[in-house]
C-alpha cells in the first residue's frame, strides 16, 4: 500500500495489507520508486507460489480549481 489514504481505506475495511509505505511522495525519485517497487512486488513469493497475483490499484487526483 502506498500512501495514507489507501492505507486508511483498507484498514477501515479490515483487509490484510502486506506492506505499506507512507510519506513517499515528498522525496520521490526514480531510484526510490525502484526500491519501493521491489519491496512491494514480491517476485520471489510469486515464483514460489506463495501468492498467485499482485494487484496495482491507484487513483488520480483532480484539482477542484483550474
Q: What does each of the 66 residues of the chain score in pLDDT, given as a tens digit?
A: 778 888 888 889 988 877 788 887 777 788 887 877 777 767 788 888 888 887 777 667 777 776
Range of the domain at 26: 1-66
51 Cβ contact partners less than 8 Å away, ≥ 6 residues apart = 42, 45
Burial degree of 42 (CB within 10 A; 0-12, 13-18, 19+):
middle
Decide: pTM greater than 0.85.
Answer: no
Nearest to 57, CA basis, from 32, 33, 40: 40
Domain count within the chain: 1
Amino acid at each position: 500500500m502506498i500512501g495514507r489514504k489507501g492505507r486508511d481505506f483498507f484498514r477501515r475495511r479490515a483487509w490484510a495489507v502486506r506492506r505499506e509505505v507512507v510519506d513517499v511522495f515528498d522525496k520521490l525519485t526514480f531510484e526510490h520508486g525502484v526500491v519501493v517497487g521491489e519491496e512491494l512486488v514480491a517476485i520471489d513469493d510469486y515464483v514460489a507460489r506463495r501468492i498467485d497475483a499482485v494487484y496495482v490499484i491507484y487513483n488520480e487526483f483532480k484539482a477542484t480549481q483550474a
